[in-house]
Amino acid sequence: MTRSGTPSRPTVLFVCKSNRGKSQMAEALLRSLAGDDAVEIYSAGTLPAVGKGPNAESVAALADLGVDMSAATATPVDDDVLRRADRVVVLGTAARLDPVDGMRSGIEVWETVEPGEHGIDGAERMALIRDDIAARVAALWAELDAER
């Protein structure tokens, strides 16, 4: 239900540092679970990476699940989306995001795994990151779906 009492879609914003990997993965995973009609989904980065495509390893890791994020384009955080979002989720600890006046949501931080810190690289690293994000996104979708 919306604040006015009529059905509507919740708005979710995923944020990471570059918007080329983790936040794009979360957006694509939630879109694959919820579809385009149930949730308004955005992702953004705290760095000015506008116009750059997604990280190739992230694309490949999601493709293994049948989820396509290859057409994603990096975008910066938009204050209007921050204000509209019912959930704002920062993925990882590299991105720093300050609240803006008028936000209806707090800022959640998902401290995603970083296998690279343990010498795990390449496809194995991305699969571990993907699986961590996928589990968190599935839990978020279950929560949002229960509220509908």
Give pLDDT tens digits for 70-98. 999 889 999 999 999 999 999 999 899 99
Whether 67 has a pLDDT exceeding 90, the answer reads yes
The rounded percent of the chain whose pLDDT value lies above 70 is 93
pLDDT tens by residue, 23-66: 999 999 999 999 989 999 999 999 876 667 899 999 999 999 99
- pLDDT surpasses 70 at 142: yes
Cβ pair 133, 91 in contact under 8 A: yes
Cα separation, 69 vs 59, in Å, equals 6
Q: Do 28 and 20 form a contact (C-beta atoms < 8 A)?
A: no
Using alpha carbons, select from 108, 126, 7 the residue that is nearest to residue 57.
126
Residues facing residue 88 across a β-bridge: 13, 107
Question: Where do the domains of the chain lie, and which CATH numbers do they carry?
Answer: 11-147 (3.40.50.2300)
Task: Supply the pTM of this predicted model.
Answer: 0.91
